[in-house]
């Protein structure tokens, strides 16, 4: 079996609800985020996933991802990994895209990056590290992390430049699966939030 990577975005936080760039600021989950994490866990513990026996689990060390992992029922199998931390937004930490564009019209993070933070090359390199790890053995992997790093992983899994990530949004507590089709890297599911409305 060719390895797949399952991507779980953390649950809703006050800043994600407001659309603020939340990089390294350690924001806790809202009650809605905790509820979503439990529902995600219930989904992953029933068919067709069946608790993912043999899966290797890693999580961002930031509280919102770790708590999502824990509430989903995978903390006992998870290792924290700094490579899964969210983009370091530098001077744009805590700002919304609209606030940034007010002073920088037309700004797009996937093209223009951020001042005093992580570069596009650096975030792409981290995404490549996750992809290489996921493909390194004959087993599935499950990661709990953040919107922009997960979108970056999605683009790089497909072998595309980082700017493709602008076209693949991710909601809080979503589940995505990257796998293979005809021997080529493929998206099996993306931004699936069906467990939140069940």
Domain spans of the chain?
Answer: 5-196
**CATH number given to 5-196:** 3.40.50.1240
Query: Could you give the strand order of the β-sheet that contains 184-192, starting from the edge strand earlier in sequence?
Result: 78-80, 56-59, 141-145, 5-9, 175-181, 184-192
Whether residue 86 lies in the annotated active site: yes
From the list 10, 146, 148, 195, the catalytic residue is 10
Percent of the chain with pLDDT over 70: 99
Query: Which of the residues 56, 67, 86, 93 is marked catalytic?
Result: 86
The reported pLDDT for the residue numbered 178 is 98
pLDDT in tens, 109-160: 999 999 999 999 999 999 999 999 999 989 999 999 999 999 999 999 999 9
Residue 21 annotated to the active site: no
How would you class 5 by CB atoms within 10 Å of its CB: exposed for 0-12, middle for 13-18, buried for 19 or more? buried
pTM: 0.96
């Amino acid at each position: 079996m060719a390895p797949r990577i399952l991507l779980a975005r953390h649950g809703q936080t006050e800043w994600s609800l407001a659309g603020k760039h939340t990089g390294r600021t350690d924001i806790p989950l809202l009650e809605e985020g905790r509820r979503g994490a439990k529902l995600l866990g219930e989904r992953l513990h029933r068919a067709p996933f069946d608790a993912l026996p043999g899966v290797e689990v890693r999580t961002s060390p930031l509280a919102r991802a770790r708590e999502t992992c824990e509430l989903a029922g995978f903390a006992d199998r998870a290792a924290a990994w700094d490579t899964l931390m969210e983009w370091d937004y530098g001077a744009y930490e805590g700002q919304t895209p609209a606030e940034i564009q007010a002073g920088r019209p037309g700004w797009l993070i996937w093209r223009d990056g951020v001042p005093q933070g992580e570069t596009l090359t650096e975030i792409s390199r981290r995404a490549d590290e996750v992809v290489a790890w996921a493909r390194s053995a004959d087993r599935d992997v499950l990661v709990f992390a953040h919107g922009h790093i997960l979108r970056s992983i999605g683009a790089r899994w497909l072998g595309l430049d980082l700017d493709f990530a602008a076209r693949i949004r991710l909601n809080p507590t979503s589940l995505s699966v990257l796998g293979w089709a005809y021997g080529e890297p493929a998206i099996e599911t993306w931004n699936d939030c069906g467990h939140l409305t069940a």
